[in-house]
Amino acid sequence: MDAIQNLIYGFSIALQPINLFYCLVGTFIGTLIGVLPGIGPTATLSLLLPFTFNINPVSSLIMLSGIFMGANYGGSTTSILVNIPGEASSVVTCIDGYMMAKKGRAGPALGIAAFGSFIAGTLSVFGLVFFTPVLANVALKFGPTEYASLIIFSLTTLALLARGSLRKALMMAALGLILGCIGSDYSTGKARFVYGLPYILDGIDLVPLLMGLFGIAEILSNIEVIWGKEFYEKKIKGLLPNKEDWKNSIGAILRGSGIGFFMGLIPGIGGVIPTFVDYAIEKKISRHPEKFGTGAIEGVAGPESANNAVCQASFIPMFSLGIPSNAVIAVLMGVLMIHGLQPSPMMIKNYPDLFWGVVSSMYIANCMLLVLNLPLIPIWVRILRVPYSILVPLILLFCMIGSYSLRNNLADMIIMIIFGVVGYLMRKFEYEPAPLIMAFLLGDNLEISVRQSLALFHGNPMVFVHRPISLALLLSAVLILISPIFIRRKVYKED
């Protein structure tokens, strides 16, 4: 009953005209970004950070959450029409979505993607309402020892699930921790890793770091890409799926919603893995698995539902544990920290207007996205034809203005450019930026928790293995680190 009352309270905040406006702006921008290949929500959120400083935290998070959700919706449009995933989590949609378009069924493919996303998003919002307070209450029993072990476990999980090698992901996490140590020690005041540069005595600012690693690096990477894909030129009609389409899709939508939601609770899982898992399950249980890959509507409905369920579920670890579950949530967590709010198990109690307002706005955003996606598809199709050579200079100018406007300091622009080049090289050599960002954000909390634990137990490091929850988390992290060894041995024996 309390959850329903809190949700009603949340709607009273989310339905305020100013918050409705920001929700609409966020969903529109997010859908646009999802439609445009190669930009993505992480880069977009990073670029928009400077413009949220003069907005209250609730409205900021409502708008940025709308962008995240909109990008997941919009990514299906390019996957179906151009066979280019507008967002990484829409890769699987290309398989059957584009084949449906080639058969003249682009309308039903786009329609079922929109309706499946709406259903999955709605179910996930209610899951968010009931699961987050429960997990937060459990987390309140954590002391600094358990919290330090939880951060280590989360970073290890993210490293394992990151695309590419585990070794490279761990290296990026270590680099993120080192970057987080730059500046003055919070307890002694001594400078660390400053090397005589006064600009970084207060540490590296989160915004230019994010704008460089995700915004500039994404642009530099996409300049190399030649968009030579065949474009769907036929007139799109019949957006509403027929009875047969619904009969084939409703089970896939519900299964995708469940798979995406529960996999989204795992820190580091991201949006790509659940869509592949769902597609594999749908093909496995289908009576006609041979249809998959040739334009099966279930191959669009299931993964798109899983994709959008992950979006909402990924907020739960941040709100309840203070742990970002992916790069986008890390950026949103950075927004809260910039506004002076520290995500933690106490967030729901200390900032109920923020939590319940944002959760309620997610349902409103789902309704807006359903309205935006179907009628505006002809506009999205025209936008797809905008040359990337026109977009790049505008985005670069946007980055420069945004980074300089933070503190009117040229150093922030230089830091952004440096990390833009670093991020580009990371992509070239297949190093994931997400572990670096999450380690950078969680580094301070990890250091504080370790110091508090050692201070409480007179410097005895064995406290981390004497406490049961801490021991279980650390053992889980060790198992994650050594699991690739056993997997390789098993594959070697089978060969």
Can you state the angle between helices 57-81 and 352-373, rounded to 10 degrees?
30
pLDDT (tens digit per residue) in 374-429: 777 777 777 766 666 776 777 777 677 767 766 777 888 888 889 989 989 988 88
pLDDT (tens digit per residue) in 300-334: 888 888 888 888 888 888 888 778 877 788 888 88
pLDDT (tens digit per residue) in 104-163: 788 888 888 888 888 888 888 888 888 888 777 777 778 889 888 888 888 887 777 666
Greatest Cα pair distance, the chain, in angstroms, is 72
pLDDT (tens digit per residue) in 450-490: 888 888 888 888 888 888 888 998 998 888 888 776 665 55
pTM here is: 0.75
pLDDT (tens digit per residue) in 3-34: 778 888 888 998 999 999 999 998 888 888 77
Show me where the domains of the chain are located. Answer: 2-494
Angle ∠(375,362,132) on CA atoms, nearest 5: 155
Share of the chain above pLDDT 70, in %: 87
Using H for helix, E for strand and C for coil, what is the string for the chain?
Answer: CHHHHHHHHHHHHHCCHHHHHHHHHHHHHHHHHHHCCCCHHHHHHHHHHHHHCCCCHHHHHHHHHHHHHHHHHHHHHHHHHCCCCCCHHHHHHHHHHHHHHHCCCHHHHHHHHHHHHHHHHHHHHHHHHHHHHHHHHHHCCCCHHHHHHHHHHHHHHHHHHCCCCHHHHHHHHHHHHHHHHCEECCCCCCEECCCCCHHHCCCCCHHHHHHHHHHHHHHHHHHCCCCCCCCCCCCCCCCCCCHHHHHHHHHHHHHHHHHHHHHHCCCCCCCHHHHHHHHHHHHHHCCCHHHCCCCCCHHHHHHHHHHHHHHHHCHHHHHHHCCCCCHHHHHHHHHHHHCCCCCCCCHHHHCHHHHHHHHHHHHHHHHHHHHHHCCCHHHHHHHCCCCHHHHHHHHHHHHHHHHHCCCCCHHHHHHHHHHHHHHHHHHHCCCCHHHHHHHHHHHHHHHHHHHHHHHHCCCCCCHHHHCHHHHHHHHHHHHHHHHHHHHHHHHHHHC
495/58: higher pLDDT? 58
Q: Could you tell me the CA-to-CA distances from 386 to 1, 223, 379 in Å, in that order?
A: 50, 14, 11
